[in-house]
Amino acid sequence: MSGRLGHASSGEVVLAVDIGGTKTSAALVDRDDVLLRTETAPTRAAEGPAAVVSTVAGLARRLLDGSRERLAGVGIGTAGVVNASTGTIVSATDTFSDWPGTPVARLVREALGELLVPDAPIVVQNDVDAHAEGEHRRGAAAGAASVLVVAIGTGVGAGLIVDGRAVRGAHHIAGEIGHLPTPGAAHLRCPCGRRGHLEAIGSGIGMHAHFRSLGGDPLVVDARGVAAAAADGDPIAIRALSESAAAVGRALAGAATILDPERIVITGGVPKIGDAWWTPMLRAFADDAIDALQSTPILPGVLGDDAPLRGAAAAAWRAI
């Protein structure tokens, strides 16, 4: 996209960034949470931190092209465990070369330079935490005092908001139910290296791994294929899909017992499978959650890909 920003004057927009494993999205966002303009580029995760930060700066320059606008702040949601108080990556999967230890906030500040107003805050958090903040600000969790947002796609991520604020925890892990020990997953290895965690069976990759472990058709290569095979009546696919979804419901019951959130919001690609996933997931939650938690609403997210950008922007505006 090109053209002028129109009404905005200097310091009236923030840059929101969503750094994912395959693509990086960035948007200019005004004080009313309106995404004025969005740009996307491939994330050069394997090339190291400098390449990832350079992509962010390139997107910012494209978004501001032809404008004298300066950024009032920057909000970033990124893959990996993040120390949100310093804007530094604590740990990450191998997809991102040398990402752990990267001072993202400092590097982005240096890369954006004169595009920032003086003392513009740069707020970095985990991408699912940003997603949770987005759904809380304007989406399925709006108005809830506390919410657990769980993203189920290739992995399982989560963000926890209590009293309207993101809860990070002592080790930046609060809410991450992907690594809850989960019955029925002991034969599957989690990306963290351990066996039996929720992500190992409940993620899209986990669902497919479970399908293969049950002797499923090797020509089915991913969770989408498992869902299609299940819809065609393949008994192994039906079992794998149902048990993968039930593992999520069981873990949500456990998480709800600790956190007692007002709402639970589920996002990501796997829930889009539809009733074949939601029905066993909700049944498992109902089977395992104590009576007082049975009425906890478990809702689909509504903002989709915009949620992390909206949450990142909200965090930047709050810091200004």
Q: Which residues bind Zn ion (CB under 5 A)?
A: 179, 190, 192, 197
**Burial classification of residue 98, based on how many CB atoms lie within 10 Å of its CB (0-12 exposed, 13-18 middle, 19 or more buried):** middle
Query: In a 3-state reduction of DSSP, which class is residue 15?
Result: strand
Q: Which residues, including other chains, have CB under 8 Å from residue 100's CB and lie 6 or more apart?
A: 80, 89, 90, 91, 92
**What Å distances lie between residue 42 and 53, 90, 245, 268, CA to CA?**
12, 23, 31, 19
Strands 156-162 and 146-152: antiparallel
Whichever of 190 and 227 has its CB closer to Zn ion, that residue is 190
User: In the complex, what is the shortest distance from the CB of residue 92 to Zn ion, in angstroms, rounded to a whole number?
Assistant: 14
User: In the complex, what is the shortest distance from the CB of residue 198 to Zn ion, in angstroms, rounded to a whole number?
Assistant: 8
Residue in the structure block whose two tokens are 């829930």: 271
User: In the complex, what is the shortest distance from the CB of residue 192 to Zn ion, in angstroms, rounded to a whole number?
Assistant: 3
Whichever of 87 and 196 has its CB closer to Zn ion, that residue is 196
User: Among candidates 113, 122, 12, which has minimal Cα distance to 67?
Assistant: 12
Whichever of 68 and 171 has its CB closer to Zn ion, that residue is 171
How far is C-alpha 173 from the chain's CA centre? 13
Which helix (H) or strand (E) covers residue 49, if one does? helix 49-64
Whichever of 166 and 180 has its CB closer to Zn ion, that residue is 180
Query: Cα(44)–Cα(48) distance, rounded to whole angstroms?
Result: 7
Whichever of 192 and 302 has its CB closer to Zn ion, that residue is 192
Task: Assess contact for 74 and 14: CB atoms under 8 A.
Answer: yes
User: In the complex, what is the shortest distance from the CB of residue 36 to Zn ion, in angstroms, rounded to a whole number?
Assistant: 38
Query: Cα(236)–Cα(255) distance, rounded to whole angstroms?
Result: 29
User: In the complex, what is the shortest distance from the CB of residue 160 to Zn ion, in angstroms, rounded to a whole number?
Assistant: 17
Residue in the structure block whose two tokens are 């509504």: 302
Whichever of 178 and 311 has its CB closer to Zn ion, that residue is 178
Measured between its terminal Cα atoms, the distance across the chain in Å is 27
Task: Assess contact for 43 and 25: CB atoms under 8 A.
Answer: no
User: In the complex, what is the shortest distance from the CB of residue 63 to Zn ion, in angstroms, rounded to a whole number?
Assistant: 36
Whichever of 130 and 251 has its CB closer to Zn ion, that residue is 251
Whichever of 69 and 176 has its CB closer to Zn ion, that residue is 176
User: In the complex, what is the shortest distance from the CB of residue 190 to Zn ion, in angstroms, rounded to a whole number?
Assistant: 3
Q: What share of the chain is helix, strand, coil (3-state, %, to 5)?
A: 40, 20, 35
User: In the complex, what is the shortest distance from the CB of residue 201 to Zn ion, in angstroms, rounded to a whole number?
Assistant: 11
